Amino acid sequence: MIVRMRLTILVTLLVTLASAGSWAQDTGAMRKKASAGDAAAQFELAQFYVNEARTARNDKRALRDFDRAVEWYAKSAEQGFAQAQFELGHLYILGRGVEQDRAAGVGWQIEAAEQGLPEAQLEIGLQYLSGAILEHDLELALDMLHKAAEQRYLPAVKQLGTMYFQAVGVEKNLVLAYQWFSIAAANDDKAAAGYLPILESIMDEAQVDEARALAAQWQLDYVGE
C-alpha cells in the first residue's frame, strides 16, 4: 500500500513538472513573438498578465501584472488589433494598470467598434444609450447595437429585445421586442425564449405574425436559408 501511494505521488509530481515545463515553454514562445512585434501574441501576453493579476495573492503583485497587461495591450492596440483595443479600453475605464481615464478608454473601444468587433459595438451602443461618458445619442446607439446583432452577437440581440420590451431609451414596441427575442431564441438562448410566451400573452395574433415575419426576414438577410 505504501509503495503504491509513493508511486502515485511520484507519477503526479512528474506530470505536474511536465505540465509546468510545457506551460513555461509556451509562455516563452509567446513572449518571444510579442517582443518581435506580433500583435496577436502581444494581446495574448496581455491576457496572460490580466489572468495573473486576477489570481494574485496580494495587491502589489496584482498591480504589477495589470501594469504589464496595459503595456502589452497598448503595443497590440497601436498596431490596430481590435480585441486589444477593446480590452485596453476597459482597463482605462476601470483604472487598472493605468490612471483612470474613461474618455480615453471609450476612445479605444470606439476604434475597436469601427473595425467591426461586436463586443465593442455593443459596449459603445450602451455608452451612447446611457450618456454617462459619451453624449446620449439614440440613433448612434441603435446603429452600434444593430451592427453587433448583424454579426449574430447574442448579447446585442437580447439587448435590443430588452430595450423594446422595457422601453429602455426607446418607446415600448412589443413587435420589435418579440422579433429580437425570437432571433436570440432561434440561436439557442433559453432566457430569450422565455420571453416569447410572455409576449404572446399580451400581443394579438396580427402582432405576433408581424414579429415572426420580421424575425424570419432578418434571419434570411443575415444568416441565410
pTM for this prediction = 0.85
Structural domain contains residue 27: yes
As for how many domains the chain has, the answer is: 1
Structural domain contains residue 51: yes
Quote the pLDDT of residue 27: 81
Structural domain contains residue 172: no
Quote the pLDDT of residue 14: 47
Structural domain contains residue 2: no
Q: Are 137 and 128 in contact (CB under 8 A)?
A: yes
Structural domain contains residue 34: yes
Cell 459595438, located at residue? 121
Quote the pLDDT of residue 224: 72
Structural domain contains residue 109: yes
Task: Give the separation between CA 141 and CA 207, rounded to whole angstroms.
Answer: 25
Q: Are 184 and 196 in contact (CB under 8 A)?
A: no
> CATH no. for residue 48?
1.25.40.10
Quote the pLDDT of residue 23: 45
Choose among 178, 116, 171, 175: nearest CA to 149.
116
Structural domain contains residue 181: no
**What is the residue-level pLDDT of the chain in tens, covering all 225 positions?**
544 555 554 445 444 444 445 445 568 899 999 999 999 999 999 999 999 999 998 999 999 999 999 999 999 999 999 999 999 999 999 999 999 999 999 999 999 999 999 999 999 999 999 999 999 999 999 999 999 999 999 999 999 999 999 999 999 999 999 999 999 999 999 999 999 999 999 999 999 999 999 999 999 998 875
Quote the pLDDT of residue 28: 87
Structural domain contains residue 221: no
Task: State the DSSP string of 100-150.
Answer: --HHHHHHHHHHHHHTT-HHHHHHHHHHHHH-SSSPP-HHHHHHHHHHHHH
Quote the pLDDT of residue 24: 52
For residue 55, the enclosing domain spans 14-114
Task: Give the separation between CA 48 and CA 40, rounded to whole angstroms.
Answer: 12
